[in-house]
Structure 1
Amino acid sequence: MRSSIVLFGLLSLAAVSPASAQTIDYEAVEVDADYIHGGGERSLSAHWQSLPSAPVPEGLASYGPFRVLDAGRAALVDVTDSRSPAQFAAMLRDHPGIAEIEMVECPGTEDDLANLRLGRMIRERGLATHVPVGGSVRSGGVELFLAGARRYADPGAEFAVHSWKDDTGLEAADYAINSPENRRYLDYYTQMGMSPLEAEAFYAMTNSVPFESAKWFGTGTMGLWVNLDRDMPENLAANLAYQDVSSLTLSYSSSNGARL
């Protein structure tokens, strides 16, 4: 995150819009009831960037929306849902060397609370998140990108955010900023490394367009909000050292709401 001077500018910006793969059974993990029944949908299906979309890999094995690419990398290629934390845990159990999530096609989530839990799992494991050229991270997928212990986004990657809407038709701005409906996101952003002021500014930006719309931006704008690492961390490089680098394949809601 940049200095407080840059953050002040961003507070103003917040108001401006710019089949060979193996499928693996997974074990259930203990999940709070609210994560199973309370999360709503929050995703965006459309793309904004004019570059060709990154190809969706089949992978070596499939765990819900995750594809195992090799010993050190997995790709996220679809919406997450209430099963995703258990699928993610099973993937890491079977492939403990995974150190990076390639965020190829990430339209959002069908269970926002489970999605936040998944983000915390990514951070607790210390995984890096990477959006390749043509990769798309939208709506609830943005929380998962922020979960990376190290974050990378290539030029040509795209991001999109918008307000969540709950099943009563209310959006984030209809609730007090310190309400549980809004607090869960502010708390999440601080857990992902933002200061309270940065979390509020980023959350205001994501809610600066209504649920029915979207704010689209690229790597440069995302880099104003969070630090985007330019160099591969040493532990990740060690996991990938044996690979031929040239062969690398390139919605907000309340507890009962929706953001697609």
Structure 2
Amino acid sequence: MMMRRALALFALLIATLGVTAQAREVSTRTWTDAAGVVWTETTTVETENDGADRLVGSAAPAMPGIARFGPFVVLDGRHAALVDATDGASPARFAAMLRAYPGIQVLEMVDCPGTLDDNANLRLGRMIRARAIATEVPPGGSVRSGAVELFLAGADRHAAPDADFGVHAWEDDAGRGPGDYPANAPVNRAYVDYYRAMGMSEAQAAAFYALTNSAPNARVRWLHTSDIARFVAID
């Protein structure tokens, strides 16, 4: 199974490895989104000695939704939010949510750590696109790891200029990554083909896949909305 581990777990990993951080900053913020839902988020940011890495662990926002389906919370008849890492059960839970609330048109992405099952995550992304659901990242939003693929799935994509997107390479159960397979191996083509299905050209898809793999699985490369907009349209 291919995995892009949820980046919210990185702070725990660093503590386990005994890496000393130079600084830690804890902040709490509360805001109201376009649907009138009040969010509260607590964020801890740690910087390593060399200052090169940004490791973020976030508490799940308080979600006063009307229903919960795995990592999805239904906010109202038109809006749902992704609030946790996806896994192998997420496509079925997404389908169940849409059966119960067929009017959902927007998937909000405020603090999305990633996925524990990339194969299921790519299926989920295709389901989002097939239902013509829009994806939206509000001001201060953070979309990380496999959740970036889900943002790309939006039929329309909206992201605040200050939104953060964290990317890194996948890793399978044997510890192998993209570079351990030929470029045209099915395991690598799966991502390029997915990006093509989300509207990228072959060249754009290959370049974006290379960008995500520019950071190893144990690290993260941070991008901004303007970086993602080089590859897909963002409103």
Residue number among 143, 149, 165 corresponding to 1:143 in the alignment: 149
Q: Match of 2:3?
A: 40
Q: Does residue 83 of structure 2 align to residue 77 of structure 1? A: yes
* Partners of 1:109 and 1:140 within 8 A in 2: yes
**SS of structure 2 residue aligned to 1:194:** coil
Q: Match of 1:227?
A: 233
Q: Match of 2:213?
A: 207
Partners of 1:209 and 1:158 lie apart in 2 by 16
Aligned amino acid, residue 222 of structure 1: I
Identical-pair percentage: 56
Structure 1: unaligned runs, 5 residues or longer: 1-37, 230-260
For residues 188-220 of structure 1, the C-alpha deviation after alignment (integer angstroms, 9 at most, x for no partner) is 110111111110000000001111111012222
Aligned amino acid, residue 169 of structure 1: G
Partners of 1:114 and 1:138 lie apart in 2 by 16
Residues 177 and 91 of structure 1, relative CA distance in 2, 3 Å threshold: same
* Partners of 1:106 and 1:136 within 8 A in 2: yes
Partners of 1:39 and 1:164 lie apart in 2 by 6
Residue number among 98, 102, 105 corresponding to 2:108 in the alignment: 102
For residues 87-146 of structure 1, the C-alpha deviation after alignment (integer angstroms, 9 at most, x for no partner) is 111111111110000011211111111111000000000000001112211000000000
* Partners of 2:2 and 2:172 within 8 A in 1: no
Partners of 1:130 and 1:196 lie apart in 2 by 25
Aligned amino acid, residue 43 of structure 1: A
Moved more, 74-83 or 166-175: 166-175
Structure 2: unaligned runs, 5 residues or longer: 12-25, 30-38, 41-60
Residues 41 and 200 of structure 1, relative CA distance in 2, 3 Å threshold: closer
Aligned amino acid, residue 6 of structure 2: S
Aligned amino acid, residue 7 of structure 2: L
1:40 Cα offset (Å) = 3.4
Partners of 2:27 and 2:194 lie apart in 1 by 31
**SS of structure 2 residue aligned to 1:42:** coil
- State the TM-score, normalized to the length of structure 1: 0.69
Partners of 2:227 and 2:131 lie apart in 1 by 27
Q: Does residue 125 of structure 2 align to residue 119 of structure 1? A: yes
**SS of structure 2 residue aligned to 1:156:** coil
Q: Match of 2:185?
A: 179
Residue number among 144, 164, 168 corresponding to 1:162 in the alignment: 168
**SS of structure 1 residue aligned to 2:77:** coil
Q: Match of 1:3?
A: none
For residues 209-252 of structure 1, the C-alpha deviation after alignment (integer angstroms, 9 at most, x for no partner) is 111111012222222222102xxxxxxxxxxxxxxxxxxxxxxx
Aligned amino acid, residue 207 of structure 2: A
Between 1 and 2, higher relative CO (CA 8 Å, sep ≥ 6) is seen in 1
**SS of structure 2 residue aligned to 1:216:** strand
**SS of structure 2 residue aligned to 1:89:** helix
- State the TM-score, normalized to the length of structure 2: 0.76
Q: How many residues align?
A: 191
1:152 Cα offset (Å) = 0.5
Aligned amino acid, residue 112 of structure 1: D
Q: Match of 2:67?
A: 61
Partners of 1:130 and 1:97 lie apart in 2 by 16
User: Is the strand fraction higher in 1 or 2?
Assistant: 2
User: Is the helix fraction higher in 1 or 2?
Assistant: 1
**SS of structure 1 residue aligned to 2:230:** helix
Partners of 2:193 and 2:164 lie apart in 1 by 25
* Partners of 1:161 and 1:216 within 8 A in 2: yes
Q: CA RMSD in A?
A: 2.0
For residues 158-209 of structure 1, the C-alpha deviation after alignment (integer angstroms, 9 at most, x for no partner) is 1100111222222212211101110110111101111111100000000011
**SS of structure 2 residue aligned to 1:102:** strand
1:42 Cα offset (Å) = 2.7
